[in-house]
Structure 1
Amino acid sequence: MTEQDRTDAPATSTEDGGVAPAPADDAAARSGLSRRAALGTAGAVAGAAALTAGGFAAGRATASPLQQNAYDFFGAHQSGIVTPQQDRLHFAAFDITTDSRARVISLLRRWTEAAARLMTGSELGSGAAGGAYAAPPDDTGEALGLPASGLTITFGFGPGLFDERFGLASKRPAQLIDMPKFSGDTLDEQFVGGDLCIQACADDPQVAVHAIRNLSRLAFGDAAIRWAQLGFGRTSSTTRAQDTPRNFMGFKDGTANLRAEDTDLVDRWVWADAADGQAWMAGGSYLVARRIRILAEIWDRTSLQQQEQDVGRTKGSGAPLSGGSEFTEPDFTVTGRDGEPLIRPTSHVALAHPSANGGAMMLRRGYNFTDGADALGRLDAGLFFLAYVRDPATQFVPVQNALSSADVMTIEYLRTTGSALFAVPPGLPAGSVLGPDGAYIGQELFA
């Protein structure tokens, strides 16, 4: 939950993704392809929309209802970053269980091919209703009959991929730091780290879960889930067409988030460049994942005045306490009758604002989560913070250090129980050929 500057630069690009796959003909349907497979396997293999320099792809699907809202897997950047943020998330971090470099490459090829297919609304292989009757089906089948639902699948590489097992140590980006433990962190090891990650976002939770479930099946013998998190109710907006959502504290969240329309800012603060040190990461980004529990029972008994002072914004409209409307820039010089700043220097807004952090900005894609209750009967719920940055050490770490040392909200009401960092490589160009010997996400790393 960080505060970032907002600009009003005019949009120069159109929405991310949205190219619907071509419908299959009757012969393909008769050959045993399921309804989802018939939505366009060819589209999953070839791709269609080219991305602009700011990472914003053209077009939205306007074909049949079952084909609508299918984002293109291919492009200069992976989907699921500047894509209009969906409402549901299934995130999984994996440990690699093989010491074979060739098997890791094979896994990435399988994942890439499967992701491209799943994002079109297709089943894997011959589907849940096809294949050899005496063998398990290729697809688990719970998404049979469901549309693509805006599914995006994003892959990332953790620090463990760059250890001595695979000969990649010299290619570890300097930006892929070992995430420090911040003041106030109460990390649970079951939510820390990972060699690989998959972020599946969709507008239907079953579609997102189906994606992770089937990709984890494909990893059997080579990687296993280390930890996972379900999320619902996005806590940020990645385009200006989206309303500002609310978090579990009841406040609007992500008012000042970077938006995909801010192409110059996205280029500066999100996308890695070859000049950053590792050419294979050019067009990629770095994903910070933090599982932040909200101590709801304490927060809910706090006065509205105290809540607004701790946040630095009004709870209803989201306007800064210095005045104006939601998108008015905070004015930290405005004082009240007592001569004190209306926005306290220790408020969340003041500490996280770019003006207090060398101008640093982030593109956030966080989600609310709830995992039931703990052993004491307290609500286990909060924010699953996800942010894409070009350099975690200069964009995320200083902000988090400031929040964890002075932010009243962070100290009294929030506990970070999970933390991880991943290098998210660039996407694959449209027209890439997939398969056992084909292109795959991260191929420049293994070249």
Structure 2
Amino acid sequence: MRDETHSDEPADTTGGTRAPSRRAVIGWGGAGLALGAAVAGTTAVALRGTDGTESAGSAGAAVPFHGAHQAGIATAVPDRLHFAAFDVTAKDRAGLIQLLKDWTAAAALMTEGRAVGEGAFGGLPEAPPDDTGEAVGLRPSRLTLTIGFGPSLFTAEGDRFGLAGRRPEALVDLPKFPGDNLDPARSGGDLCVQACADDPQVAVHAIRNLARIGFGRIAIRWSQLGFGKTSSTTPDAQTPRNLFGFKDGTRNVAGTDTAALDRHVWVSPEAGPDWMAGGSYLVARRIAMRIETWDRTSLKEQEDVFGRDKGEGAAVGKAREHDEPFLKSMLPTSHVRLAHPDSNGGARMLRRGYSYTDGTDGLGRLDAGLFFLAYQHDVREAFIPVQRALSRADALNEYIQHVGSAVFAVPPGVRDKDDWWGRELFS
């Protein structure tokens, strides 16, 4: 992130009203005011294309923040993740709206590789800096920031945000699936922000600054760091592998497949509600892997569990990874057979999962697994039926357990510099 030249009145590059300087913030009492003014400086190099769905491009480049859809869904998947779920502590609708405006302004700056507000240093010595500073000098690293609204935001006590009648029918509470062992401390949330970047420090910096900007209006409920993407939206690239060593995401929806995105990922205007048109629904699941048990399992059994060979990634009886699988040649309990669209009425999801490791569990076993992220046009038609099928019969269940869960409505993109995250919801 660059640190720009400082002045009492930052230059307005947002296209809207000018955000207050730090001195003005202090003069007005400080808390809760906008920090998102862009200051003069060099604009980061942006990826070319429509809605950010092109190939990965340079690892240092910036992904366009504005567009019909939020970046971080169909855009190329960077290598690192910092995902955070928040509870809203703002007392009223006006406080929540101002939070979303402040976050949008800061997100637009950070995805360009620019500092928040007046930057990390050089300002008023008696006040905390506007930016935490750990990304100074780093490139944008394809940072994307994607926001979602959880069911609890619409059912807040006393409907303090006036949203009870605006909850989409598709934003359902996920049922309890067989084998779930969900930790409430790692589940749910009023809001979520998904930060993806090629540099982990850039992703962490983004979440840290949003949490700091929201102080007094939100509190972090839980968060998750991820590495080693386990799915890709760029099928021409090498398919990544999960911690079990198998290729993951061979049949994932491509970010350039407009027809598949319209059918399976984006909410259509006809499906409603109006404020969700062009958005999507996100399911986040923390899936613990029993690494040590898996590592003592024979290669044949591992391949039978998945229904693919471990080297090439080809389906049973096929030679190459992308050869169309013949499902009946697989065991009826194989993961690929049970998860395949042909076994689930054609249901597909766009997956953007990441591996995670969080040390050990106190018994010398790795606390590691998959942080599953999947976008779809309706969880009732995609994730829920597929997960029901998997939870009943998948041989992989012997080696995994779902321990965290959340679902969010992800609104459409920020159209221009006068727009802000979720504006249509409050119209």
Is this a same-fold pair by TM over 0.5?
A: yes
SS of 1:388's partner is: strand
| Alignment equivalent of 1:159, drawn from 142, 151, 155 | 151
Compute the RMSD of aligned alpha carbons.
2.4
Write the mapping of 1:69-80 to structure 2, written as runs, cut at 5 A.
Answer: 69-80=61-72
Contact between 1:240 and 1:261, CA under 8 Å: does it hold in 2?
no
Output the amino acid matched with 2:281: Y
Contact between 1:50 and 1:76, CA under 8 Å: does it hold in 2?
no
CA distance in 2, matches of 1:100, 1:50: 39
| Alignment equivalent of 2:258, drawn from 243, 250, 263 | 263
CA distance in 1, matches of 2:260, 2:119: 42
CA distance in 1, matches of 2:367, 2:49: 42
Write the mapping of 1:155-304 to structure 2, written as runs, cut at 5 A.
Answer: 155-163=147-155, 164-304=159-299
Output the amino acid matched with 2:207: I
Deviation digits for residues 351-381 of structure 1 (CA, Å, limit 9, x no counterpart): 0000000000010000000000012221100
Deviation digits for residues 374-410 of structure 1 (CA, Å, limit 9, x no counterpart): 1222110000000000000110111101111100112
1:273 Cα deviation (Å)? 1.5
1:243 Cα deviation (Å)? 1.1
Output the amino acid matched with 2:426: F
| Alignment equivalent of 1:427, drawn from 390, 399, 413 | 413
Deviation digits for residues 233-288 of structure 1 (CA, Å, limit 9, x no counterpart): 00011112321010000100111111112110111000001211300000100011
Write the mapping of 1:113-132 to structure 2, written as runs, cut at 5 A.
Answer: 113-132=105-124
Output the amino acid matched with 2:402: T
Q: Tell me: CA distance 1:40–1:182, structure 2 relative to 1, closer, same or farther (3 Å).
A: farther
Counterpart in the other structure of 2:345: 358
Q: Aligned pairs, how many?
A: 396
After TM superposition, the runs of 4+ consecutive aligned structure 1 residues lying more than 6 A away are 47-50, 58-62
1:189 Cα deviation (Å)? 1.1
1:98 Cα deviation (Å)? 2.2
Gaps of 5+ in 1: 1-20, 334-340, 434-438
1:309 aligns with 2:323: no
Output the amino acid matched with 2:420: Y
1:167 Cα deviation (Å)? 1.3
The percent identity for this pair of structures is 57
CA distance in 1, matches of 2:277, 2:113: 29
1:165 Cα deviation (Å)? 2.0
1:190 Cα deviation (Å)? 1.1
Deviation digits for residues 27-73 of structure 1 (CA, Å, limit 9, x no counterpart): x747599xx966547x89xx99784xxx55579888xx9xx510111
Q: Tell me: CA distance 1:61–1:321, structure 2 relative to 1, closer, same or farther (3 Å).
A: closer
Output the amino acid matched with 2:239: T
CA distance in 2, matches of 1:368, 1:279: 35
| Alignment equivalent of 2:125, drawn from 102, 109, 133 | 133
Q: Tell me: CA distance 1:188–1:129, structure 2 relative to 1, closer, same or farther (3 Å).
A: same
CA distance in 1, matches of 2:139, 2:39: 11
1:108 aligns with 2:100: yes
Contact between 1:366 and 1:387, CA under 8 Å: does it hold in 2?
yes
CA distance in 2, matches of 1:409, 1:214: 38
CA distance in 1, matches of 2:111, 2:256: 23
Deviation digits for residues 402-430 of structure 1 (CA, Å, limit 9, x no counterpart): 111100112x1001110000000001223
| Alignment equivalent of 1:403, drawn from 369, 373, 390 | 390
Contact between 1:318 and 1:325, CA under 8 Å: does it hold in 2?
yes
Output the amino acid matched with 1:406: A
1:413 aligns with 2:408: no
1:347 aligns with 2:334: yes
Write the mapping of 1:142-157 to structure 2, written as runs, cut at 5 A.
Answer: 142-157=134-149
1:325 aligns with 2:320: yes
SS of 1:386's partner is: strand
Contact between 2:262 and 2:268, CA under 8 Å: does it hold in 1?
no
Q: Tell me: CA distance 1:30–1:139, structure 2 relative to 1, closer, same or farther (3 Å).
A: closer
| Alignment equivalent of 2:369, drawn from 378, 382, 399 | 382
Q: So what's the TM-score if we normalise by structure 2?
A: 0.88
SS of 2:380's partner is: helix
Deviation digits for residues 115-174 of structure 1 (CA, Å, limit 9, x no counterpart): 000000001111112211111111110011101011000000001111222111111011
SS of 1:275's partner is: coil
Output the amino acid matched with 1:418: G
SS of 1:371's partner is: strand
SS of 1:397's partner is: helix
Counterpart in the other structure of 2:421: 441
CA distance in 2, matches of 1:429, 1:157: 18
Q: Tell me: CA distance 1:299–1:442, structure 2 relative to 1, closer, same or farther (3 Å).
A: same
CA distance in 2, matches of 1:408, 1:101: 47
